[in-house]
Amino acid sequence: MLTAITKNGKKLCLGNDYKKERLLSLRSKEDFFCPICGEGVLLKLGDHRIFHFAHKSGGTCREFYDHETIYHLNGKRQLYQWLIKQNIPAILEYFDKEIQQRPDILFTFNGKKYALEYQCSPIPEEIFSKRTKTYIENEYIPLWIIASSHLQLKRRNIDTLSNFQYLFLRSSLQGTLFIPSYCPEKQHFHLVESITPFSIKNAFTQHSFYIPDRLEITGLLSPKPQKRIYMPEWKTEMDRIIQNMTRYSDQGKKRFLLEIYNNHLNPFLLPPEIGLPVPHSILIQTSPVIWQTYLYLDLLSNKNPGDLITMQEMKQHLNKRVNRHDVVIRHLPQLSHLNPLLAVIEYLLYLIDLGVLSKKGENCFQVKQKIWIPHSNREREENMIRFNQKHGSLCKIINEN
Ligand SMILES: [Zn+2]
């Protein structure tokens, strides 16, 4: 840890710049105590490690603090200094007695209280959620930053993200969703943006890197990514999902395929209108091609031009599919305010652009023309070419605002 108090109750924060000589002299005449448990702590001033405090022995909070790695100590110290340089009031290792939680850094910005947690080791999802919930309930805005060492780029623009990494997904003030990370070794922020999942774990992503001097707090809280996905690349992944599904079938996939066949559809001959990327499909863990097929079966296939799709129907459809586990909602503790129905609405808005639907009043859609289902590979390919010619090869990603 980086903060201790002296016998007189004065705080010594090693997040600030101290010369080693000054600390050596302080150490020779002062005793230091842990601000949380009150036990004596040692001031460590080695040449190879970052200066820090360590508990003497035993004690209740020893586990909590003394397993911090150099990586973590360095990271939170650099993040603290980054805030201080911007004249943002910040407290390192602030302990909130009332909620018994200790964010790495507490800071206030634009009148709001932020609890910054710089997470370098995996923690169970329940603990992450509980801490996040407690912060929100106590009027903190949680700002979880994952250590860059946990992020690894898989392919050029495709990442495999685990459930743990998804916990860090947060919303900018404008509503764009991203994962913030920081690397104290390379000394840069690393933002994973425009995350558009096409399966449970794989997603199209974009990455931005900033050295701390080139990024202000507003840039971290509200990055402005450019979202681009090429339709042919996206459709390749959608096709792959279907191929894998017929190859390795678990219960859920079997149910999906059975339902498709029962409705006289062929999974390999789905139209281009099914399986499109929409910004908030990230709230749904199930692949877009699957949840949009279910949506087609429930809301679109039996309707004729002129028929309506109401908000009530959309909600019923989603509830039914979630209850049956056909559609799985992603667990995103920092985005508990977002309703997955958003993805459904965005998809229907996309279908307006494609000429399938039109808007009818505030909460209602009207069918303009039925989605045409191809009956052979040739028909499907021709249909796909027409679709790309008409709508361009760049996926339309609806403005996330
Ligand atoms: Zn302690």
Question: Which tokens belong to 284?
Answer: 């749904």
Tell me the CA–centroid distance for residue 217 and ligand 1, in Å.
31
Q: Quick one: pLDDT at residue 396?
A: 67
Query: Is residue 245 very low, low, confident or very high in pLDDT (cuts 50, 70, 90)?
Result: confident
User: Residue holding tokens 């509200």?
Assistant: 222
Rg (alpha carbons) of the chain, rounded to whole number: 26
**Average pLDDT score over residue span 378-401:** 78
CA of 131 to the centre of ligand 1 (A): 20
Taking the centre of ligand 1 as the mean of its atom positions, its distance from the CA of residue 310, in whole angstroms, is: 57
CA of 244 to the centre of ligand 1 (A): 52
CA of 19: how far to CAs of 24, 230, 355, 365, in Å? 9, 53, 68, 67
CA of 92 to the centre of ligand 1 (A): 15
* CA 95 – ligand 1 centroid, Å: 11
d(CA 380, CA 124): 45
Question: In angstroms, what is the span from residue 232 Cα to ligand 1's centroid?
Answer: 56
Structure tokens that stand for 331 in this block: 């667990």
Which pLDDT tens digit goes with each residue over 48-84? 778 999 888 766 675 566 678 889 999 999 999 999 9
pLDDT one-digit tens code per residue, 349-368: 999 999 999 999 888 999 99
Residue 7 Cα to ligand 1 middle (Å): 15
Mean pLDDT of 149-171: 88
Which has more confidence, 213 or 245? 213
Enumerate residues with CB within 5 Å of ligand 1 (an ion). Answer: 34, 36-37, 61
Band (251; pLDDT cuts 50, 70, 90): confident
The candidate with the shortest Cα–Cα distance to 328, out of 356, 286, 294, 385, is: 286
Question: Of 43-57, 286-300, 364-378, where does mean pLDDT reach its minimum?
Answer: 43-57
Distance 4 CA to ligand 1 centre (A): 9
Q: Where are the domains of the chain?
A: 3-67, 71-221, 231-391
pLDDT at position 230: 85
For the domain covering 71-221, report its CATH number. Answer: 3.40.1350.10
- Average pLDDT score over residue span 147-172: 89
Q: What is the pTM of this model?
A: 0.91
Neighbouring C-beta atoms of residue 363, cutoff 10 Å:
12
